[in-house]
Chain A
Amino acid sequence: MTSGLLFASTGALLFALGLAGVILIAHLLRRILAFNVMGSGAFLILVGLAQDNDIPDPVPQAMVLTGIVVAVAATALALALTRRLHALTGEVELPRDEA
């Protein structure tokens, strides 16, 4: 197994773990962490699969850099909204949706 494939399969595992977390966990902070695990999984696949004979390819590295910026922005927004919800309701979980 090449190192690239190892990265990619680890990435797939992380993505699946993170996705399950985002869907199943009720606590918002843990959910945001799970989203970040999911994102890291995708980035690892992007970089890992693009390695040809252990020579890294610069284009996906640049993509991952962009992706990280997007993920940071999304995380910041999610944290700000969570703080606001906590300040308003004292809960760190989403209230039930109206029927």
Chain B
Amino acid sequence: MTGLILLPLAWASLAFVLGPGRGKWLAIGGLSAQAWLAFDLAAKVGAGGTALLHPVGGWGAPLGIDLAADGLSAVMLLLVQCIALPLAIHAGAYFKRGDAAGAYFWPLAGFLIAGLNALFLSADLFNLYVTLELVGLAAVGLVAAGGGAQQVAAALRYLFATLVGSGLYLLGVALIHGAYGTVSIAILTPLVTSDAPRLVWIAGGLMLAGLMVKTALFPFHTWLPSAHGNAPAPVSALLSALVVKASFYLILRLWLGPLAPLTSAIAWLPALLGALAILWGSWQAIRAERLKRLIAYSTVAQLGYLFLIFPLLPGTDALEAGIMQAFAHGLAKAAMFVAAGVIIEATGRESVMDLSGAAGHLPLTLFAFGLAGMTLMGLPPSAGFLAKWLLIEAALDRGHWGLVAVVLAGGLLAAVYVFRVLRQAFLLAPADAVVKSVPRRLEWVAFLLAAASVLLGLRGVDLVRLLGAGA
């Protein structure tokens, strides 16, 4: 379990020592080992059916720090490793030697992944705060990596948003500690009841609000399009696919754990914001001028689906729908940003209107974009279809027709912005267009991620079965 945290820390530090732009093979080797560890952990958790505990250094809570892995953690760890490994292979080809934007990509990405893995394994609220900050700071560093005024401004905007979010979360943790004298999730869960003092209600509200800012839920999404839309392609992919899922996981953890007795009264608020996020994000994506900004707004919309499940919790079917959506969106969005990176690299243009002719020169990339779009729209047999199917079924079981309508409308709106890109790409190119050749590896990674997002729909049952372990 500790290997998943120590390995990325080790290769990130080594990459930093080696100097700017180095450490590609360290990262790919380390991530391969991590992927194996994550599968091994998932197999153990799945076979045992209970949560695994590991007191760090032999010091258990309350003095030391406990790491814990149950089905939900194991699934999220799998998601991180399975997306980070292909993205590392992609980034290795994307950043050329001496490229300023990639100078510190490897150390920062390593620290980011170490923070994410530590977050999914943490068992107490304060350790979660520290890992949340690690993830946030590394992500800001990655956004700023380009070094231009626009990137630095986007990084600062992101930094302030993430600091406000984690500040609110920390205040909530402080109040919880003041009320119960502990921050361990396992100890808190039976202590908090529905007649808890008002202090605990305020603490819960602050923590959830802070995490919603970090997950970029509408109307706190304003930092996301500039941060994700201005970074280099591999960075945008990491941020959109993984980083926003970390704070969502934490919301889910709190909602199902310590805050469960308090949340029934406000369960419709996240769902309402999620529905607005789907509509607003899709609308902005349809109107966006630049390709990467379009994809970033699509992230705002797709994050909305994650929040539709809250009125349906604590049902396992709703949880399964949420996790499946996190996987589907993670894989598809990574593929989309990678594909967009290839297209921009090849044509040298960023706007959707300038895509004409791309399909002729980069058929594999466009195919990958289309497959990823298929997942976002929710066409069978993709993972996105499975997620929406599970969500609709769970909503119909409880008679919530409104949620069904939002899910279906969101799929149609996604089709509009995906086809906007595809249509433009299939138009004939202007005669003066110059298209550079790009390394084939870049195109294949996009295709691989997109294909995975579609094929996962066929193997989703195994993932979903793992979720039940130790819950």
Q: Which residues of A contact B (CB under 8 A)?
A: 8, 11, 15, 18-19, 22-23, 28, 31, 35, 38-39, 41-43, 45-46, 48-50, 57, 59-60, 63, 66-67, 70, 73-74, 77-78, 81-82, 84-85, 88-89, 94-95, 97-98
- Complex Cα spacing A15 to B166, Å: 13
B155 touches A22 (CB 8 A): no
B160 touches A49 (CB 8 A): no
Interface of chain A, main secondary structure: helix
- Chain A nearest Cβ from B88, distance in angstroms: 24
Given A50-B181, A74-B133, are A85 and B163 also a contact pair (CB < 8 Å)? no
Q: Which residues of B contact A (CB under 8 A)?
A: 62, 126, 129-130, 133, 137, 140-141, 144, 147-149, 152-153, 155-157, 159-160, 163-164, 167-168, 170-171, 173-175, 177-179, 181, 183, 222, 225-226, 293
A97 touches B167 (CB 8 A): no
A94 touches B156 (CB 8 A): yes
- Chain A nearest Cβ from B380, distance in angstroms: 36
Partner pick for A70 among B130, B147, B293, CB 8 A cutoff: B130
Closest to B63 in A: A59
For B62, the chain A residues whose CB sits under 8 A away are 59
B159 touches A94 (CB 8 A): no
For B293, the chain A residues whose CB sits under 8 A away are 98
B137 touches A39 (CB 8 A): no
B153 touches A85 (CB 8 A): yes
Given A81-B140, A82-B156, list of 20 further CB < 8 A pairs? A19-B167, A19-B168, A45-B171, A46-B174, A46-B178, A49-B178, A60-B177, A70-B130, A74-B137, A74-B163, A77-B141, A78-B156, A78-B159, A81-B144, A81-B152, A81-B155, A85-B149, A85-B156, A88-B148, A97-B225
Given A19-B164, A85-B149, are A45 and B156 also a contact pair (CB < 8 Å)? no
B153 touches A22 (CB 8 A): no
Closest to B160 in A: A22
For B148, the chain A residues whose CB sits under 8 A away are 88
Given A77-B140, A84-B152, A88-B152, are A46 and B167 also a contact pair (CB < 8 Å)? no
A45 touches B164 (CB 8 A): no
B174 touches A42 (CB 8 A): yes
Given A77-B137, A77-B140, A98-B226, are A84 and B160 also a contact pair (CB < 8 Å)? no
- Chain B nearest Cβ from A56, distance in angstroms: 13
- Complex Cα spacing A95 to B148, Å: 13
- Complex Cα spacing A49 to B261, Å: 23
For A89, the chain B residues whose CB sits under 8 A away are 149
A94 touches B157 (CB 8 A): yes
A50 touches B178 (CB 8 A): yes
B171 touches A15 (CB 8 A): yes
B153 touches A95 (CB 8 A): yes
For B168, the chain A residues whose CB sits under 8 A away are 19
Closest to B157 in A: A94
Closest to B156 in A: A81
- Chain A nearest Cβ from B187, distance in angstroms: 13
Given A35-B167, A49-B174, are A74 and B152 also a contact pair (CB < 8 Å)? no
Query: Could you name 18 residue pairs across A and B whose Cβ atoms are closer than 8 Å?
Result: A15-B171, A28-B156, A42-B167, A42-B170, A49-B174, A49-B175, A50-B178, A50-B181, A63-B177, A63-B183, A66-B130, A70-B130, A73-B133, A78-B159, A81-B152, A84-B147, A85-B153, A95-B153
A49 touches B163 (CB 8 A): no
- Complex Cα spacing A36 to B181, Å: 25
- Chain B nearest Cβ from A95, distance in angstroms: 5
Give the interface centre of A19, A35, A46 by most chain B CB atoms within 10 Å. A46
Closest to A78 in B: B159
A97 touches B157 (CB 8 A): yes
Closest to B222 in A: A97
- Chain B nearest Cβ from A32, distance in angstroms: 9
- Complex Cα spacing A79 to B181, Å: 35
Closest to A85 in B: B152
- Chain A nearest Cβ from B148, distance in angstroms: 7
Give the interface centre of A23, A28, A95 by most chain B CB atoms within 10 Å. A95
- Complex Cα spacing A46 to B308, Å: 33
Sorted from nearest, which 8 A-B pairs have the closest CB atoms? A49-B178, A46-B174, A88-B149, A45-B174, A70-B133, A42-B171, A42-B170, A85-B152
